Amino acid sequence: MVTYILKRLVYMIVTVFIIATLTFFLMNLIPGSPFNEERTTNAAVQQNLEEHYHLNEPLAVQYILYLKSIITLDFGPSIKQPTETVNSLLGRGFPISAELGIWTVLIALVSGVALGVFAALKHNHLIDYMAMTIAVLGISIPNFVLATMLIQQLAVQLEWLPAATWSSPAHMVLPVLALATGPMAIIARLTRSSMLETLTQDYIKTARAKGLSPYKVVVKHALKNALMPVVTIMGTLLAGILTGTFVIEKIFAIPGMGKYFVEGINQRDYPVIMGTTVFYSAFLVFMLFLVDIAYGFLDPRIKLHKEGGSS
């Protein structure tokens, strides 16, 4: 197990390194620079600024400086907001984004699995059709459309919930709802089909023949097996939710990490772009690692380590 984790750790570092490198060169391919604006500044001032941020150095030197900043975990000051460092932006934005993300994952997972299980248990009944209609809608409506619709209906028309910003639990409802519906729908469909398949397995018949209660048969015997595909796509879904937060945070004016990320790109704020990208990719790679670990817990046949074999 320990060897496995160490091995994965090396892979994770390599992955993040490749992403960071790609981002750096792609970013430099984008025309423009932080000081290239409509309002032209004095040439001398601009040169001073570039020197200050090492933007006049050759690309290779910049790249090495950048790698150094990653290793030391200090991404330096933001160019556009000189009073802030990238680290302070991340420190402020991440808890908010994390809160949004965690609620989204929780709600998508719980309601998606519940919807899928009920649909499978009531296969070809009204509940099944209703659940699958919701799921199809959820998959086909993009979250930014859903977000604006929710704001229009629940915030503007009915005035039940606040339309934007992030301060109380009530403020969270709409963004989480908008962000969670898509993943929830995918999880629901997957759980349903996987559950339908699992319920026809012989070991379910065995469990019923033991006289177990329907709850035990479904939750203990069927669900644990049916969740395997759900865990498999959790990695992809997490990536989806992560990128979804950019859009949702923008729409709901949530001061999370996504907001700084998008602003950073728009303003060519190089340190902010690099910092957020590396942070995001490191986070995602770590989440995927957790998903793989969860796999091993759900199904004992999946071995995370090579030592020892079946007897």
Partner 1 sequence: MLNKILEIHNLHISFKTFGGEVQAVRGVNLDLYEGETLAIVGESGCGKSVTASSIMRLIPTPPGQIKEGSILFKGQDMTKCSDKKMRGIRGVDISMIFQDPMTALNPTLTVGDQLTEGLRQHRRVTKKEADAQAVDMLNLVGIPNPDERMKQYPYQFSGGMRQRIVIAMALICEPELLIADEPTTALDVTIQAQILQLFNKIQKETGVSIILITHDLGVVAKVADRIAVMYAGKVVETGTRREIFYEPQHPYTKGLLHSVPRLDQKGEKLIPIDGTPPDLFSPPEGCPFTARCPAAMEVCSRIYPYSTVRSETHEVDCWLQDERAEKYSATIQS
Measured from the CB of residue 211, what is the shortest distance to partner 1 in angstroms? 3
Choose between 7 and 210: whose C-beta lies nearer to partner 1. 210
Residues 6+ apart with CB under 8 A from 139: 182, 185, 186, 189
Alpha-helical regions (H) of the chain: 2-29, 43-52, 59-71, 86-121, 126-140, 143-150, 169-199, 202-209, 214-216, 224-226, 228-251, 257-266, 270-298
Out of 221, 252, 257, 269, the only residue in the binding site for partner 1 (CB under 8 A) is: 221
Choose between 228 and 233: whose C-beta lies nearer to partner 1. 228
HEC-encoded secondary structure of 128-186 = HHHHHHHHHHHHHCCHHHHHHHHHHHHHHHCCCCCCCCCCCHHHHHHHHHHHHHHHHHH
Q: Select from 64-72, 148-156, 220-228, 284-292 the region that touches partner 1 (CB under 8 A).
A: 220-228
Q: Select from 114-122, 170-178, 276-284, 297-305 the region that touches partner 1 (CB under 8 A).
A: 297-305
Out of 80, 92, 122, 208, the only residue in the binding site for partner 1 (CB under 8 A) is: 208
Distance CA 203, CA 2 (A): 33
Choose between 119 and 135: whose C-beta lies nearer to partner 1. 119
Choose between 58 and 309: whose C-beta lies nearer to partner 1. 309
Q: Select from 56-64, 173-181, 199-207, 264-272 the region that touches partner 1 (CB under 8 A).
A: 199-207
In the range 84-103, which residues lie near partner 1 by CB under 8 A? Answer: none
CA distances from 124 to 105, 119, 127, 190, 213 (A): 28, 8, 8, 16, 23
Binding of partner 1 at residue 211 (CB under 8 A)? yes
Binding of partner 1 at residue 298 (CB under 8 A)? yes
- In 3D space, the residue among 306, 282, 286, 281 whose CA is nearest the CA of residue 296 turns out to be 306
Binding of partner 1 at residue 133 (CB under 8 A)? no
Binding of partner 1 at residue 225 (CB under 8 A)? yes
Build a one-symbol-per-residue string for 252-291: x at contacts with partner 1 by CB under 8 A, - elsewhere. ----------------------------------------
Residue 41: DSSP 8-state: P
HSE on the CB side for 248, CA within 13 Å?
30
Contacts with partner 1, residue ranges (CB under 8 A): 201-203, 205-213, 216, 220-221, 224-225, 298-301, 310-311
